[in-house]
């Protein structure tokens, strides 16, 4: 039986359900994610888009030509990011009903990491996109 997990927004109006195993679980420290999430980083669970059902008053904002970010139109909770034509959706770990169910295996864009965030230990670290990772 495939794994199923859920999540949603602060006010409860927007929800999602995902089926199956994640492609990966990563933390992004890029400035776009920092601003979109309103925090030092964006932890997310990457899933095939056809494995996720989203309901409720969800809006989308293109933070770049290739990336749309989904949020609840009522309370503003950041729910997901979706690459144009990528066939995947990154569900924000903070919006999961059980966020401890997933552990990140890599940290991306660590060159943009806030100085007060400790370096990730035991995960791959990618200073910028497309560069070789460092084990940390």
Query: What number of H helices and E strands is found in the chain?
Result: 1, 12
What total of structural domains would you count in the chain?
1
Confidence class for position 130, pLDDT limits 50, 70, 90: low
Query: What pTM was estimated for this model as a whole?
Result: 0.90
CA-wise closest residue to 111 among 127, 88, 130, 129: 127
Mean of pLDDT values over 121-126:
81
Look up the domain containing 48 and give its range. Answer: 4-135
pLDDT at 135 over 50: no
> 63-106, pLDDT tens digit by residue?
999 999 999 999 999 999 999 888 999 999 999 999 999 999 99
CATH number for position 100 = 3.90.1590.10
């Amino acid at each position: 039986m495939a794994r199923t997990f859920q999540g949603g927004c602060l006010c409860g109006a927007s929800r999602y359900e995902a089926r199956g195993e994640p492609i990966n679980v990563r933390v992004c420290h890029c400035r776009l994610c920092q601003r979109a999430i309103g925090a030092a980083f964006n932890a997310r669970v990457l899933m095939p888009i056809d494995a996720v059902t989203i309901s409720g008053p969800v809006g989308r904002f293109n933070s770049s030509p290739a990336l749309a970010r989904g949020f609840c139109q009522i309370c503003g909770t950041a729910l997901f990011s979706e690459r144009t034509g990528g066939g995947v959706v990154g569900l924000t770990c903070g919006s999961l009903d059980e966020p401890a169910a997933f552990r990140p295996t890599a940290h991306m864009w660590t060159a943009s990491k806030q100085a007060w965030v400790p370096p990730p230990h035991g995960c791959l670290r990618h200073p910028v996109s497309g560069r070789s990772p460092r084990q940390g």
